[in-house]
Amino acid sequence: MSTSRTIWGIGTTRTLRPQWALIELGLDYDHKKILPRGSGIENTGLVVLSQRHKVPFYQDDRVQIGESAAIVTYLADRYGGKNVLAMPAPGTEERAVLQDKTFFVMTEIDARLYTIRLHADPPLGLSATYGSAPVAIDAAKQYVERQLHEAARWLTGGPQYVTGEQFGTVDLLLASCLDWCLDYQMELPEPLGEYRDRIALRPGYQTAMANNDPSHA
């Protein structure tokens, strides 16, 4: 059975994540370079797979899924190894902790950053479509800044990564959110700033960033 992999989407923090995971895992993939909210989002090939009208979207011989954290988790579960995006077994304490931190990053940081994106002015925001809302932006930034202190606590004691000494899925999600924070000129707590800079040296990150560059669409 074919194991061909296709990623739809380019140009955002969320489209970066599946590509980064695939690259870290050493997996080939077909990249459909469709910008969010561009004309390509109505590409018939994508519309047949999903009515979300959103990217990223991932397709292989088993699944068709569109949430970036779900894609990353699936790829790590299916292809991760002892030294590359290793995943703890379901039902274990380690898996529960990983899921807790993953959901925290996505609901308490990523989702609030998206509020900023909706209402900020171009080129980093979508206020032309969703309206300018300075109060909402300020509130979202303050909320994210509080949650970043919780994420910084995970690195207390000097671990290299969120769950210890091995780069994992939650690092990929958190680090991409930290980049997003920097785009909005938000100050990172010192442990997170150092952590983000360390992860940005990873070849997988650098390759994914180049592949996700919207100028290549």
Strand order of the β-sheet with 30-32 is 30-32, 6-8, 57-59, 64-65
Q: pLDDT > 90: what percent of the chain?
A: 88
The domains located in the chain, with CATH, are: 6-82 (3.40.30.10), 93-202 (1.20.1050.10)
| C-alpha count within 13 angstroms, C-beta hemisphere, residue 155 | 20
pLDDT digits 0-9 by tens, 111-127: 999 999 999 999 999 99
Distance from the Cα of residue 147 to its chain's centroid: 17
Report residue 3's pLDDT band, with 50, 70 and 90 as the boundaries.
low
Report residue 1's pLDDT band, with 50, 70 and 90 as the boundaries.
very low
pLDDT digits 0-9 by tens, 116-159: 999 999 999 999 999 999 999 999 999 999 999 999 999 988 89
> Would you state the torsion angle of the CA atoms of residues 76, 24, 7, 71, taken in this order, to the nearest 10 degrees?
20
What are the structure tokens assigned to 157, written together?
């004691």
How much is the mean pLDDT over the chain? 95
pLDDT digits 0-9 by tens, 172-208: 999 999 999 999 999 999 999 999 999 999 999 999 9
Q: Which of 78, 65, 61 lies closest to 21, judged by CA?
A: 78
Q: How far is CA 121 from CA 17, 116, 117, 132, 186, in A?
A: 24, 9, 8, 7, 16
In this predicted structure, what is the pLDDT of residue 2? 46
Query: Using CA of residue 87, residue 91, residue 103, residue 36, what is the dihedral sign?
Result: positive
C-beta separation of 179 from 197 below 8 A: no
Q: Which of 18, 57, 61, 27 lies closest to 41, judged by CA?
A: 57
Q: Which residue has the tokens 């954290």?
A: 69
What are the structure tokens assigned to 35, written together?
């910008």
What pTM, to 2 d.p., does this model score? Answer: 0.95
CA distance 161 to 170: 9
